[in-house]
Amino acid sequence: MAKQVVTTIFFVLFHCIISYWAFMSSCSIHSSTKTSIPEIARYFGTKGRYEEVNTYLIDDILAINSSLVTLPSSTCREIHLTAIIRHGTRFPTIKNIQKMRDFYDLVVRNATDNLSCLSEIKSRWKMWYKDEMDGRLVEKGREDHRHLAQRLIRWFPSLLTEGNVRQGRVKLITSSKHRCVNSTIAFREGLMTGLSIKEEVELEPAVSVNDALMRYFDKCDRFVKEVENNKSALEEVKRFSEGPEMKRVMEKMADRLKVPYTSVTDDSVEAAFYLCSYEFTILKVNSPWCQLFDEVDAQVMEYAGDLKQYWKRSYGHDINSKSSCILFHDLFYRLDQVVTQINSNVTISEAVTVQVGHAETLIPLLTLLDLFKDDVPLKSTNFATQQNRIFRSGHIVPYTANLLVVLYKCPEGIRMGVRLNEKSLTLPGLTDPVPMYEDVKKRYSDLLGGCDQETVCKMNYS
């Protein structure tokens, strides 16, 4: 335990030092616009802020917007909440840090244009991202979860209560990845603060690590073989990276930098896009890197990211969604337990269950529920006709994205509400935004009666 505390303190101090140094070397070069939002921020995809999805939070991070939520009759009362949440804002992974470093070196060494943004980058911006940061949670990510916990207290005041915390009816489950564990701890801090519970360690809800649920994709052999480790599974992504839209983005980047076209690859423009997005999401800086893109470039970069999520995690391959069967069944098993306890006049054992994972945890489950499905599949050749697509990863799974499933006890029976990112969703095939729970089970009866994890993930070698 002492070792864990020392390690946690080390990384907090490490982050503070790095963030301060980065602020001094990066924010200061653009101090006049350090709190402004890049014009292309809405195209950052899975690297985007939660505040771009719910813009009212920019002015008040603890605000809730009741106009975005449909509730059942006032005669109903909330009896259970399951929240499946993506981790908060994080550092880039080591793979992307290396790409960013290579592109920074290219700009410093070879770029010759006199654009003001290039002058700023060359003279005052320093490459502050280090390999050891490798996907770790940043302070903004901790704040994301603390604030979400406090908003959920406002959304569900009868469920997220001191009494439920003290009586062990609030459960916290997480992926083993450090960014998820630390997000969960931050959520717990926000919960304790929001409920004005003093720091009494014995009262804090325990954090349980469960990769079988929160990183199910790693455990699904068929997904790993057919998609994760199969380059042909992402053929559409590769074709788009070699297609005319991406080629034009690369050429425009080379023209801006005054370097040969052969110097700029799809990895180069991706790295530049990451430099823009991470500077903003981590440090709230509208950095000069963002000025290397116009809106059309950003739309192309967003589509490239959406294509990858579509083919690797969503409707591109059937196993993508089926790999989440274990999480689907875990959810409905818990909901069934709550209904049984209510019907038996027994105290509900889990008033609130919070499960913290990844974008890769949420997207397959949302796909399994048939949500965000376009009539025409996303492909490498239909960028121009997909401008109004439903499947936009930045709208679905920004940092701290959350799927909220709520059960209500009503005079007519148990109802169920679903929200994504604090906005009501109507489940496909149902017209009532807060349908009867039994109607939801009928809608997904095929999955409830099948979708066995062991069966769907088993490799067929015959």
Q: Tell me the three state secondary structure of residue 427.
A: coil
Rounded-to-integer distance, Cα 264 and Cα 249, Å: 10
Characterize the bridge pairing of strands 207-209 and 170-174: parallel
Round the CA-based radius of gyration of the chain to a whole number and report it.
23
Q: Which of 311, 408, 13 is nearest to 303 (CA)?
A: 311
- For residue 160, count other CB atoms closer than 10 A to its CB: 24
Round to whole Å and give the CA distance between 258 and 380.
Answer: 28
400: left (phi over 0), alpha (psi -120 to 50) or beta: left
* 302/287 Cα distance (integer angstroms): 18
Q: Do 251 and 241 touch, CB atoms closer than 8 A?
A: no
- Tell me how many helices (H) and strands (E) the chain has: 20, 7
Residues in a beta bridge with 425: 418
Task: Assess contact for 86 and 402: CB atoms under 8 A.
Answer: yes
Taking the C-alpha atoms of residue 412 and residue 427, their distance in angstroms, rounded to an integer, is 20
Instruction: Name the catalytic one among 15, 30, 80, 87.
Output: 87
The H or E element containing residue 118 is helix 116-124
Q: Which long-range contacts (CB under 8 A, 24 or more apart) does 92-99 make?
A: 92/129, 92/133, 92/135, 92/274, 92/278, 93/134, 93/135, 94/131, 94/133, 94/134, 94/135, 96/271, 96/274, 97/129, 97/130, 97/131, 97/133, 97/134, 98/131, 99/267, 99/268, 99/270, 99/271, 99/274
Beta-sheet strands, E only, within 213-319: none
Retrieve residue 113's tokens: 């244009």
Hey, which bits of 180-333 come out as E strands?
207-209
Residue 147 known to be catalytic: no
Phi first, then psi: give them for residue 356, nearest 5 degrees.
-110, 125
- Comparing C-alpha atoms, which of 133, 149, 210 is closest to residue 185? 149
> Which residues are designated catalytic?
87
